[in-house]
Structure 1
């Protein structure tokens, strides 16, 4: 059975509804108790409750057994190593190996581009995590009264030890920025801090109650396990996948580890031990989480990635079944953050432990932004898919086993969210057993069409119990995405674990719960189809679809030109050229009134009733092409109502040159543009991306604007003075 959607067509009434939803909800962005209840309502409550009960029972038995075996073998339960790092015996493997947790530590927000979302950031979005909550599990708990986040940390384990590493991680996410370079990615968010002792039990409970994200900058110590553990899908990975499957809004973010140069795996799936491949362990190998690598990166002032490479310590994949792990990379080098020595102390640290909170905080801001734009949070599969869809590709095209899909790019991710239904598509869908899902999109030849699917997969019934490099796929429900046009099929990226150092190829991906197809310079109409292999467990699979680089509407964002269509005794009818799929906002008033009256209409005319003879009125109009994408307002037009003799006038607030067509020179520009009209002390400018994102704004009183800090590309310049807006496009070399 084929379900088909044509996303080029959309009724204006839907746009009106979306706009009013936006107007009603965009000021409420915190994760309230009501929102957590709403998320919790989507959880599989019985499964989570039963799983937690089993975990609690197993934990009590395991701790007793752990102490007995540790005493028998003279193993230390807790230990502080010579370098100050804390480790703790957390379990015993199926083969009797001691499983120790260790922290992965040797401005995070800059590399992930989360700083562009913050207040005073490049995008002007004022996203700082206000009222949002994130969980941090670590070797201990954060110093609760540090001046950088006093009152925004809640301790979840009353008897846990305060830990430097946990304090550092927490600060990387939520520090206010009293010390500027230590500012956290989401510097107004809240953290619930736990130690790692009962992590699965506590996360199961928190996820059931609506927790969106948790940070885990620790994992199994690599030098105390046999080689078969590396890359193996074990019970710990299965347990975490089960939590996330049953709580579809919850996403675990974990550090990849620092074992690249450890030479602990003597029999990797690829290459020699010294090459550093196949050293991922434990829950880093889960399917549904995000595993974060460490990167050394340079970002310019506009949020553009200039250079990047993987940190020399960051653990490489692949995992045994060939999945793409790590998933993504963040800044892992020399991160300054809070320290537990005192409530005013700071420390610099490196490692994938430091890269991970930068990604976690970025994901939290994207959840906040989606709530601000659309009144709801994304499912975890959507959030993960968005991060992987928009990551900055490094080196060869496609993913790799060192940094996954590339460097986290919060700026691009936020733009894709903002441009939903205009140049991008984001949807949470369900594929039923035996069905397929298909729709058409249009690309205009100047961008890369990217389409991806992401899903939270059922935990695998298979777990490795001791087989070296077992290639059995952990994937349960195998979905596939394809793009077709004129008989040609475009396939997703995939990696080959037998050639782990080689570039990605395109083909049938049978192991990853995320697939991404790319078509550079796409032009014309394409069909995107999602299918599945075999029988779907539970007879269905939810998935998230993200598409960018397309024209989701034929609506024009040019300001409409308005004319008087007809007049009657007390009424004028205004009319303008129709734009397909558009919603219009008309503002009108008696000329001396301070406030505009506003109406939203889907037709290209407006009857203005109740007018008085010899009274002067003003109006202006703009076009909405999606919930967040609109044209500038038309110039303010005025008329003195004289019945059938009424004629339009135009206010000229930009001085006597207003009749001159507005333009800039030189165009293309290098460092500066000049306006061809005079400006006043009240004139302001705004430079926007072609996707409608504001990049710069300031006064334009000297008719010159510095654009040297903009990257090469096409931009929209808007000039505003009093009630007049003018716009033009320019290209920056």
Structure 2
């Protein structure tokens, strides 16, 4: 039977955001918060039981279509809070998960089978999953067992991981070795306790809001339409509201930065209430559901925008809407057809929700009638596991490439948004489809290119941290073959909750740490997509996004060889002193357009904590400037400064390292490029410089190198060392052990295997010696 005495947390519970949690899981804080949540839930069990008895609240409500909602708590203003469960091969085709499977176009053979994924996926739902179903047998770890086995939980779990005994019911991660399952009572306490151990969880349920058709009231009265807004209000305050539970979800995500909560958007858009002039019920001031006469014309039918209930509005989660399945896969925006029921944003403060859409219409999966039973359901409940299971395959692939390391949740969420397929009748995001249709095949392509090529190909993936007052810059060159797109996403600090009395459509921003991404080229600045919550149907435009913890920039005009600069900054002061973020870039890796630059010399000389760079050109340049970039690994360059062209051909720049940890690194790489009036970069030269006296002990000849290279090292110590030759991207091309004795050491290496270009020679022992050479 249904557990009658457990509820979610009241507003007295506030989860903590801790600064160190941005890049590593804060197990200590999560454990503290879980203990507090569990104790508070126990207290609330007694309270809700008392209120239900005195106010005659139903423990279970059955809606018009037979779906059930269960009393789980009390809202901030004392009304009962109910959770309702929202009512696979096409699903897999829709998100392109099937292209990651064996035989798929990606060739990746992903199925969730990796041992490191076992019990890294979790589900919270209205009851238990059927553990003996032939699609799931032996793979369910049910953590609470006082609620009954139900069809909904079994169906959702099947979409996540059914083994495919029935091919049309095959789950997204069909070979997953194990999943953790809970019912949704006391969910926040349980999520807090598990968040440090899992990487994705699915939540195909939410609070009742707006209109509900109660088909069997417990008092024996006839079936009726009920409006769940506050007394004397014409719309439900819970739509778009950032409440205490929402705040707690954001805090959990902040303290568990590798954990992504995937949430069904809700099915409110076709729950429209009775015709105007017919009887209806609503809550009164005593928190009782009472007859309110005939429905007036002014009450919202919640059939358009701003109908996402409470915790679907959290910043750090992935909220998923439902669209029709696309059996043959996406080809164009009109392929993505909105369902009749999926709830639309925006949040009250105007953030873009839902985040994405997936297949939630007529999804076939297993149910609990018997061990071989299946059923076809529709709802955002079906779209959410379609997305969650598909995203688990991306974590599997990333971890395969990174020795078991997972992406941060902000990276996974940002990647899903970065590669989403365009949906809707206007370009860019909207409040119906969010950023578009999930496409994990494209997302896997970004992972493959970025990781295997160490961010030197057409896709880039960075997990960075921005400190107070900090700036990150990245120079990129468009390849001309792929759209130029950049996305940043971060797990933001949880926001303050507007008091319930003032909460109806409160537009106060819930963004705490406001990062900004801009892309520039020759004085032109490209801005992220933004939406106008005051005109929710209006097409997206470009501008300063002050609302979302996701920003994406699309540059459709990029041509092959065009060079751009990405800059990441922040507004105000960062709470907790820093903010971790993820950056995704696609459409890069091109060759810079050649410009008439004849570089005669480029050298770098250390001078204490500074480096003096000098260069000379044969031709005079008056309509350009020189860009100087610095790197500690020869690959990932950051902006060091620029020098305007002055026409006489001689230039210099001093790089001050006194406030940089790079003053301890040897060598430092510098890249010089010229930028013309159209923002195009000319290839110039890279040099490496040692900032200590050790470099002078290393002599290399002949320069330029011929077929044999001689290396001479004067050493005051005898050490076992390693000799290396590296390219300018930091890749080791030659490596061999050498024994260094006191005095002069001379040895040779064949350099005929090296192509023309610049290389770094290193001798690594107790001291690192390095110099750059040129092979002609």
Q: What TM-score do the two structures reach when normalised by structure 2?
A: 0.65
Contact 1:321/1:472 (<8 A) preserved:
yes
Q: What residue is the counterpart of 1:545 in the other structure?
A: 583
Q: 1:335 to 1:537 in 2, by over 3 A?
A: same
Alignment partner for residue 252 of structure 2, among 233, 243, 254? 243
**Gaps (5+ residues) in structure 1?**
1-38, 556-564, 568-577, 587-601, 608-620, 622-733
Shift of 1:91: 1.4
Quote the residue 1:88 is aligned against: 70
- Tell me, in whole angstroms, the C-alpha distance in 2 between the residues paired with 1:229 and 1:501: 21
Partner of 1:684: none
| Structure 1 match to 2:179 | 191
Q: Per-residue deviation at 1:359?
A: 0.3
Q: Return structure 1 stretches of 4+ with deviation > 6 angstroms.
A: 264-267, 301-306, 552-555, 582-586
Cα distance between partner residues in 2 of 1:41 and 1:547:
21
Q: Distance in 1 between matches of 2:397 and 2:80?
A: 43
User: Equivalent of 1:503, from 536, 539, 550?
Assistant: 539
In structure 2, distance between residues paired with 1:196 and 1:538: 32
Q: Is the 8 A contact 2:127 2:153 kept in 1?
A: yes
Alpha-carbon deviation of 1:112?
0.7
Kept after mapping to 2: 8 A contact 1:140/1:196: yes
Distance 1:79 1:272 in 2: 22
1:465 to 1:162, Cα distance in 2 relative to 1, 3 A: same
CA–CA distance in structure 1, aligned partners of residues 101 and 159 of structure 2 = 14
Asked if structure 2 preserves the Cα contact closer than 8 Å seen for 1:299 and 1:306, the reply is: no
Within 5 Å, give how 1:117-516 maps onto structure 2: 117-130=100-113, 131=115, 132=117, 133-189=120-176, 190-208=178-196, 210-222=197-209, 223=211, 224-226=228-230, 227-263=236-272, 273=301, 275-300=303-328, 307-375=335-403, 376-394=405-423, 395-420=425-450, 421=455, 422-467=457-502, 468-516=504-552
Matches of 1:605 and 1:331 in 2, distance apart? 57
- Contact 2:126–2:184 (8 Å) recurs in 1: yes
Task: Give the gaps of 5 or more residues in structure 2.
Answer: 1-20, 212-227, 231-235, 277-294, 593-634, 636-705, 709-725, 735-748, 756-776
Shift of 1:445: 2.8
Aligned counterparts of 2:191 and 2:65: Cα–Cα separation in 1: 29
Structure 1 window deviating more from structure 2 (79-88 vs 50-59): it is 79-88
For the 8 Å contact 1:297–1:307, the answer to whether it is kept is: no
CA distance in 2, matches of 1:412, 1:204: 32
TM-aligned CA distance change 1:41 to 1:325, over 3 Å: closer
The alignment status of 1:529 with 2:517, answered yes or no, reads no
Q: CA deviation at 1:604?
A: 7.3
- SS of 1:415's equivalent in the other structure is helix
Distance 1:234 1:452, change over 3 A: same
Distance 1:502 1:369 in 2: 38
CA contact (8 A) 2:527 2:553 kept: yes
Contact 2:129–2:181, Cα closer than 8 Å, also in 1: yes
Q: Which has the larger radius of gyration?
A: 2
Contact 1:447/1:521 (8 A) holds in 2: no
Distance 2:448 2:299 in 1: 43
Whole-angstrom distance in 1 between the partners of 2:332 and 2:104:
14
Q: Does 1:104 align with 2:86?
A: yes
Residue 313 of structure 1: SS of its match in structure 2? coil
Match of 2:57, SS state, is coil
Q: CA deviation at 1:603?
A: 9.5
The count of corresponding residues between Structure 1 and Structure 2 is 532
Equivalent pair of 1:238/1:463 in contact (CA under 8 Å) = no
In structure 2, the CA distance between the partners of 1:580 and 1:94, relative to structure 1 (3 Å rule), is closer
Q: Deviations over 1:306-328 (max 9, x none)?
A: 71121110001111000000000
**Paired residue secondary structure (2:500):** coil
- List per-residue Cα deviations over 1:672-721 (Å, max 9, x = no partner): xxxxxxxxxxxxxxxxxxxxxxxxxxxxxxxxxxxxxxxxxxxxxxxxxx
Assess if the C-alpha contact under 8 Å between 1:263 and 1:276 holds in 2.
no
Partner Cα separation in structure 2 for residue 553 and residue 464 of structure 1: 55
Structure-1 separation of matches of 2:340 and 2:411:
31
Contact persistence 1:322–1:471 (CA under 8 A): yes
Check whether the contact 2:458–2:479 (CA below 8 A) recurs between aligned residues: no
Higher relative contact order structure (alpha carbons within 8 Å, sequence separation ≥ 6): 1
Distance 1:284 1:383 in 2: 18
The CA distance in 1 between the partners of 2:56 and 2:159, in whole Å, is 37
Equivalent pair of 2:480/2:587 in contact (CA under 8 Å)? no
Contact 1:229 / 1:466 at 8 angstroms: preserved in 2? no
Aligned partner of 2:773 in structure 1 is none
- In 2: Cα distance, 1:378 partner to 1:115 partner: 21
RMSD: 2.9
Report how far residue 389 of structure 1 moved: 0.5
State the alpha-carbon separation in 2 of the partners of residues 384 and 508 from structure 1.
Answer: 21
Alpha-carbon distance in structure 2 between the residues aligned to 1:303 and 1:582: 40
Contact 1:67-1:77 within 8 A present in 2 as well: no
Give the TM-score, by structure 1 length.
Answer: 0.69
Distance 1:101 1:510 in 2: 32
Structure 1 residues 577-628: Cα deviation after superposition (integer angstroms, max 9, x where no partner) = x997596999xxxxxxxxxxxxxxx997449xxxxxxxxxxxxx9xxxxxxx
Whether the 8 Å CA contact 1:43–1:248 is kept in 2: the answer is yes
Cα distance in 2 for residues equivalent to 1:231 and 1:603: 68
Mapping 1:29-108, distance limit 5 Å: 42-81=24-63, 83-105=65-87, 107=89, 108=91
Distance 1:526 1:299, change over 3 A: farther
Distance 1:341 1:522, change over 3 A: same
